[in-house]
Amino acid sequence: MLGNDEAPTRSAILQMREEHEVVLEAYDFLDEKRLLLAAELLRQLDRYEELLGQYNSASERAQRMLVATIRRHGLQGTQVYPGSYLQDAELRATARIFMGVKLLETALQLPQEYGAGPICQPSPEAEQCRRDFLELIKLGAVLAGVEGNLHRLLAEYRKTERRARALENVVIPEMTHKLRDMSARLEELDQEDVVRVHMQAPSRMRS
């Protein structure tokens, strides 16, 4: 870095130009990265909204069937109606890396046998209610993975955006201005040298 009173040199300008090129390349990379992150964010958001719509629809169906089950068995009968055994269910996640961000595809893996225990008074309403809530749980597992992806992508996008804007609005303009100033000062010094040589030439001839 040159001080205010320090004369610029061609080597210093060359070094500054090389640093300027490196910073421009870094900005181009960050600019492309934030575009790719934004595109993936939109894709994941579309997927999230699609799944959320399915989840809300499934939730409404499950609630309606729960009401029907309560009407059939009563509140106490519904509370003691055997449920599905999901203690061995497993939340599985498949990971991939996108622009440094871990993206997950999650799914609920149910055990081979997750049926209820002995049922004294089975009914179509209660069995359908069981199936509807199982579907709701499975959709929730997938939805949770996409929601996590959105949070991680958004955090990485904001970080990339801050870095790109810092280069675009602060670092690059400062380097461009300094490089222009150094080149102008060097050109002035070259012109002064040329004038000095011309002024000294007649005195040499007289001597």
Dihedrals phi, psi of 108, to nearest 5 degrees: -90, 115
The amino acid at 156: E
Q: Return all residues near 20 (Cβ < 8 A) that are at least 6 apart.
A: 172, 175, 176, 179
pLDDT mean over 58-82: 92
The whole-number pLDDT of residue 199 equals 64
Q: Which two tokens stand for residue 55?
A: 């989840």
The whole-number pLDDT of residue 117 equals 60
**What DSSP letter does each residue of 29-67 carry, written as one string?**
HHHHHHHHHHHHHHHHHHHHHHHHHHHHHHHHHHHHHHH
Q: Which two tokens stand for residue 102?
A: 């871990």
How many residues would you count in the chain? 207
The whole-number pLDDT of residue 111 equals 76
* CA–CA gap between residue 206 and residue 79 (Å, rounded): 119
β-partners of residue 93 are 106
Q: What is the CA radius of gyration of the chain?
A: 35
Which CATH number is 27-188 given? Answer: 1.10.287.3240
User: Domain limits of the chain?
Assistant: 27-188
CA distances from residue 192 to 4, 30, 42, 186, 201 in whole angstroms, order as listed: 19, 42, 59, 10, 14
The whole-number pLDDT of residue 118 equals 62
The whole-number pLDDT of residue 202 equals 60
pLDDT mean over 83-106: 89
pLDDT mean over 97-126: 82
pTM listed for this prediction: 0.77
pLDDT mean over 26-37: 95
CB 34 within 8 A of CB 154: no
Using DSSP's 3-state secondary structure scheme, residue 7 falls into coil
